[in-house]
Amino acid sequence: MKITYYNSAEYHKTTTETVQVILGVLDPDEITDDDRESLRDGTLMPMCNFADAKGVWHAVPWQFVIEIDE
């Protein structure tokens, strides 16, 4: 699977990486009321988590993700 994302909030340069797994959403029973409030007010940002080909884990804001291709 490949993921393409912007490298920064400037939305100019991009990176495409081959990944084995993408994690990004907690199960509803794992989200606390404090988490929900933080998501609503913007202090908590949902992240797309994945390991690159070398096994290094990355966390990228979902709004930076351009495409996920299988």
Write out the residue range of the structural domain in which residue 24 sits. 2-69
Amino acid 42: pLDDT: 87
pLDDT at 67 over 80: yes
Task: Kindly indicate the confidence band of residue 60, based on its pLDDT and cuts at 50, 70 and 90.
Answer: very high
Q: 9-13, 14-18, 25-29, 63-67: which range is least confident on average?
A: 25-29
pLDDT tens track for 29-58: 888 999 889 989 989 888 999 998 888 999
8 Å CB contact between 59 and 47: yes
d(CA 3, CA 31): 26
Could you give the C-alpha distances from 47 to 11, 63, 64, in angstroms and in order? Answer: 17, 9, 9
The model's pTM is 0.78
Overall domain count for the chain: 1
